[in-house]
Structure formats: structure tokens, C-alpha cells
Chains A and B, each alone.
Chain A
């Protein structure tokens, strides 16, 4: 039940929400080091959950034509193309920097795409903007119009032998709702539509949601969103229906490389730790876990990740903190401001009040 850590700090969410004899908390461990960007998770999620299409888009963000999570994208595979020194930063290559993403002419191209979106923050609405993207791409590369046939289907460095290799690497990550221990979306929901399941996950009840949109602003990861033509908020349910039947969520079931691993959270955290040590041992020193720490700003994520670069490179916030951590202090300040209002009115009227008595 409600404890002192109910708003912030380590917590087992299901018992805190009032479940007695709750089953062990479950979640996802998404190991991006083995993700191949096949998007089977996206497809499986759409199929199982009957999520509507989010547009047939070509966004110009590498192979990411989903554009991130949203009301109609509950799994979204991100693609990052990076120059990256060979040798995994082992001693001879230690000084090879991992520079910031999104710079140079390629940045102009993607910026043009973003700029042209009707709402820069809206996702999955890029069809109309492809012309601008192409225009900027052509300007950036200085190329004359020519027919290219199919879009490039091979990653650089594939042709020929070692001499054609470049300093290129590709990061891929299947993003998903984090099912936070302290879920701001759930805490701020004014209708009780969002609720904590017995598995410790966070689910929207579509028959309750009235589309107030508060959860959208509250999520520190930019996951949940309002479906425009429907008016309600939607996000990953961690396949609540499948969990109830003892089945694995659709995305994890379909993942061919076991990049997405489903299981009991405690066990996943141990497994992630072992994988991290394995990678470090193999010289992949840039590997790090994200969202696994119960002491972090959201009390740890139910869906956490192994990343190969800083979180912000993948579009993840580097250090999210649940907004409700400060809620008691907010109410205190509102109380002080309320008292100040009453005092102000009293001061303004006091002389009239006594003037009337005289």
C-alpha cells in the first residue's frame, strides 16, 4: 500500500498499488547490441494489438520511417549511423571520439524533414514532407537529379574486402514504453484510466480514457500520445492480455535475435548485468545499461536497455526524473500562494471595512 517511497525511490509497484499476492514484476530487457533492425517487433505489436497504421512515411532518418513511439507505434526501431573507430576503443583507438549525432550535411537533410513536418513534434506524418527532405539532400550532396533505382539497401563497408571498410557503425534500438516504477502518466491521470497491473506494468483502459492529454505531458520519455482521430491516449500494454494467459508479449516473441527479452524483472536485471560484463570483457567498453537502476529518477524502468552510446543519441533522456517527485513541494508552494492571495485581499479591503464601521 502507500508508502513513503510511493512518489519516489525504490519500490515494488504492484504491492504499492494495493495488490495482495501479486505475481513477480515482469518487463523487457532490450539488448541493443544484438538488434539487427528488422522491425519484426513493430509488426508483431501492430498485428497483435490491432494498432492502426501511422502513415506510409519516408522520413529520411536512416531506416527509421516510424519516427519514434506514439499512439500508433508502441514499438519503434531507431537507427543511428555513426563514424566509429574500429577496435572498440581498445588501447590503440582510445582517442577515437564518438562525436555527436546529427551534424554536417546529413543534419541539414534531417532538419529539413523535421522543419517541414506540420507539427514538429508530431510523429509519423512525413509523407508530405519528403519533397523537402529530398531537396535538402540534393543540395547538401551537390548531386544532380538522377535515377537511383532502389534506395540503397546495403550498409557501407559491405562491398569487397577489408580495404573498403569504413569507420562506420550502425546503432539500432527497439524503443518501447518503459513501464516505470514511478509512472508519471499513471499518477497524473484524472480519470483512473491508467492503472498499475498485477504484473507491475502500466496500462490504459480505453473505455475510461476521456482524452484529457495530461499523461502525454507527464511522460518523461515522450512515449504515450493522443490518437488524433480517436481522441484517447494509447501506448504499449506490455501485452496485458497475453500476460494474463501466460504468454510472452508479441514483440519479444517475434524478435529473431533475442534483442528483446521478456521475463521477471529481477532475473532480467541479473541477465543484463552478466551481458554487460561479457561485453566489457570483449572490449565493448562503451556498453552501458539504461533504466535498470531502482535508485534512478523513475525508480527503475520495467523495460530497460543495454545501449552502446549515450542515451540521448538514441532519443532517450539521459537522466529522467518522475515529475511527481516534487509534487508535495508543489502543493506546498500552491498553498503558500493561496494564503498570499487571501492576505492580499484582506489588505486591499481592510481600510474599507473599518471605514464602513465608522
Chain B
């Protein structure tokens, strides 16, 4: 949309120009007062440092008002999340840890030693990465242990801290027991060589029991915020993250185990992908205005890439029974799809918090629907004009 279009749109959609707040009739009338300070400031600074951003291109995303809603100088109502991409990465690694723990437990029960060993180790690696990125994202990383002062069901992050701690101990123990074959056959350590696999099974199964909580609490973590597009999708998000976690765990299995052992992983890949894609579809289509951030800009690109990669992974899972290479490529695509899903959801929410439209419009519709518009605004004509402006 060009600048002229934006201006046209404002005039078309809004009240008559002379009544618009802050509006100055083009080529005459009052000088907008906000600019006086700005202009004199420019001369005060002379030709000081000037940083053109975006190559001088007008960023139309800031031009959103289009007279459809009112705002304070177009500024965001909410503070955008201060979380960095560390948290998006953690969504992936946490999901991968949960998914691979589940696949490892299944492999353990069905007698697939390579799949079990490699996914327990994958789980351990993902756990380490999760812990690292979670602590790195804190404003005061040295105080990470303050998370352990309290257990608060109203705080998904507190719940998640305890879930991750429990899961970490169990999954970590299961991974460590994979070292049993390295122990000598005799002596005290030889005893360990005999006992460890059983202990590994027990802790691995216990970890698998906790794993779904690890994979889905992050959805509640995001949904339990004022971020419009995260909160709105709270019913779909746990399923999306659950499917994504299963797909990534299954993808790791396809990548790291021979095709004979990976058959259940390929089946799980189909299940996980189906759940993820279904939930993603509802996320992107089912919430009107608040779905929009997931379909536009970078979040839109990321989620489209996620869908494409997941579909490639599905194809790999279908065709991977005979070829290790096809299976591995499919697994890698599933992992990539999971990463893109997490980044897409993360960035979609951040975008929705930065634009006042996503905060104001749904809330204003709620207020108007309650009929309080007539109580709160005492001029019937003004109400009519305002509501038609919004609809237009």
C-alpha cells in the first residue's frame, strides 16, 4: 500500500477530515503542534547523526490506524514481550527433549536399542540446550535459582520450572545409563553394567510420563499473557506444540536410527504432523483479526515454511521404509519444520503485541457488543459515526 493509498483510506474510512483528531487540512489550516518542537530540534542538532532505517522506505506497518480504530499516536498499548529468540529456541529444544524421551521409551519397550540409545542422548542434548537458553534469557541469569523459591500453579513458568527439573533428572539419568556397555564386565562396576539398563528403563519410562507436560506447558506459558494473538489461540496452541514435539522426536528417530528400528518413529511422525498441521490451520484461519499476525510478514513466512517442511517430512516418513537416506532427510525436514513452527508462533505473538490494532479492535468490539457504547457516549450521532468508521 502506498502512502497515498493510506491517506485515501483514512479519508474514506473516517469521519470528515476537519473533525479528525490531530488532522491538519492539507496545504493549510493549523500547523500540527507536535512538529514545532521536532522542527526546532532538527536545527538545534544541525546535520547530526542521521540513521535512515529501511532504506528510507515507508514502513506501512506503522501506518495501521486507517481510521478503523483510535489510538494514542499509533503507539502500542502493550509492552511487546522482552523475550528474545532464546525462548523460541527453547520451545523447540524443550519439545524435542519431550518427543525424543517418548520415542526412546517406546523403543525401550519394543526392543529397538539403537533408536532408544540415540534418542535418550538426543533428549539429554536438548535438555542441556533448553536449560542454557532459558537461563541465558533471564535479565539476571545468576538468579536463575530464584525460580525454585516458590511453586505457583498460576504461573505457567513456575509450573514449567518444576516440570523441567523433574523431567531433567529422569531423562538425564536414563541417558547416563546408556554408558553401561562401556563399564568393565567384572567387579563392582560390572554390577553397575548389569543394573544400569534396568534403572535406565525405569527412569526413561518415568521421564516419558512427564514428557507431555514439558511439551505442552509452553503453550500455556505463551497463552497466559496479554499478547493478543497468543492468548486468543490458547485452545489450539497446546495441540500445536504437542504435535510439533512429537514430530520433532519422531524426526530425530528417523534421522538417527536404522530404517527397521525407525518404523514406529515414521508412524509417529505422521501422527505428530497431522496434529500440528491441523492445529496450525485453526490458529491461522480460525481467529479473524487475531489470526492475521500468523499469516503476514515474517511469522507468516515462517509458518508457511514450517508447513512445507513438515509435509516434506511426512513424505519422507511415508517413503522412508526402504531408504535410510530418504528417512533421514524426512527426519531432518521434520526437525526444521518444528523449529520454524516455534519461531513463527513466537514472532506472530510479538507482532500482535507491537500493533495497537490487535489490542484495541477486539476489545472495542466487545465493549460495543455489550451495548455500553450507548451508555458511555451520550451522543447517539457520534456513536453511529464512530461505529461506521470502524466498520468501514
User: Which of A36-44, A47-55, A334-342 is the contact stretch?
Assistant: A334-342
9-residue interface stretch from A27-35, A188-196, A245-253, A256-264:
A188-196
Q: Contact at A115–B70, with CB atoms within 8 Å?
A: no
Chain B residue with minimal CB distance to A148? B40
Range class of the A interface residue count: 35 or more
Question: With A97-B15, A222-B78, A344-B275 known to touch, is A121 a contact of B24 (CB < 8 Å)?
Answer: no
* Docked complex: A197-225 residues within 8 A CB-CB of B: 208-214, 216-225
A-B contact count (CB 8 A): 471
**Which A positions have Cβ atoms within 8 angstroms of B?**
7, 58, 60-62, 65, 67-68, 70, 78, 80-83, 89, 94-111, 113-116, 119-121, 128, 130-138, 140-143, 145, 147-152, 156, 166, 168, 184, 187-193, 208-214, 216-226, 230-233, 285-286, 288, 310, 312-320, 323-324, 326-327, 329-331, 333-342, 344-345, 347-349, 351-353, 355-356
Q: Could you mark each residue 300-338 of chain B with 1 if its beta carbon is under 8 Å from any beta carbon of chain A, else 0?
A: 000000000000000000000000000000000000000
Q: Which interface residue of B18, B30, B34, B73 has the most chain A CB atoms within 10 A?
A: B73
User: What's the least CB distance linking A193 to chain B, in Å?
Assistant: 7
Q: Given the complex, which residues of B lie within 8 Å of A320, measured CB to CB?
A: 226, 363
Q: Is there an interface contact between A285 and B242, defined as CB atoms closer than 8 Å?
A: no
Complex interface: chain B residues within 8 A of A286 (CB): 377-378
Which of B143-160 touch A at CB < 8 Å? 143-144, 146-147, 149-150, 152, 154-158
B23 contacts A by Cβ under 8 Å? yes
Are the CB atoms of B65 and A107 closer together than 8 Å? yes
Q: Which residues of A contact B22 (CB under 8 A)?
A: 80-82, 101-104, 106-107, 110
Interface contact A191-B234, CB-CB below 8 Å: no
In chain B, positions 74-105 with a C-beta closer than 8 Å to chain A are 74-83, 98, 102-103, 105
B379 touches A94 (CB 8 A): yes
Residue in A106, A184, A232, A318 whose Cβ sees the most chain B Cβ within 10 Å? A318
Query: B212 an interface residue at 8 Å Cβ cutoff?
Result: yes
A189 touches B155 (CB 8 A): yes
Chain B interface, DSSP helix/strand/loop, else mixed: helix
Instruction: Report the nearest B residue to A64, measured CB to CB.
Output: B73
Which of B122-130, B217-225, B281-289 faces chain A? B217-225
Q: Does A319 contact B37, Cβ atoms closer than 8 Å?
A: no
- List chain A residues, Cβ under 8 A from B264: 348-349, 351-352
> Smallest Cβ distance from A353 to chain B, in angstroms?
5
Which residues from chain A contact B74 at a C-beta distance below 8 Å? Answer: 102, 107, 110-111, 114
Which chain A residue shows the least CB distance to B213? A338
Tally of B interface residues using CB under 8 Å: 140
Task: Select the stretch in B42-50, B165-173, B179-187, B193-201 that faces chain A.
Answer: B42-50
Complex interface: chain B residues within 8 A of A152 (CB)? 33, 36-37
Kindly provide the distance from the CB of B8 to the nearest chain A CB, expressed in whole angstroms: 12
Residue of B at shortest CB range from A6?
A: B154
Q: Is the CB of B40 within 8 A of A151?
A: yes
- Measured between C-beta atoms, what is the minimum distance from B210 to chain A in Å? 10
Q: A61-B34, A222-B79 are in contact. Are A323 and B70 (CB under 8 A)?
A: no
For residue B114, CB closer than 8 A to chain A, the reply is: no
A215 to B: closest C-beta gap in Å: 9
New A-B contacts (8) at CB < 8 Å, excluding given A61-B72, A138-B35, A326-B224: A102-B73, A110-B34, A114-B73, A188-B155, A319-B367, A335-B216, A337-B212, A337-B238
Also in contact, A148 and B39, with CB within 8 A (given A323-B231, A348-B268): yes
Q: Which of B71, B137, B216, B378 contacts A102 (CB 8 A)?
A: B71
Pairs across A and B, CB under 8 Å, 25 listed: A83-B20, A98-B21, A101-B71, A105-B24, A106-B24, A107-B23, A111-B74, A114-B75, A119-B80, A131-B45, A137-B35, A188-B225, A209-B143, A212-B138, A213-B137, A217-B226, A312-B71, A313-B70, A336-B238, A337-B238, A338-B215, A341-B215, A342-B212, A348-B267, A355-B110
| Nearest residue, chain A, Cβ from B230 | A217
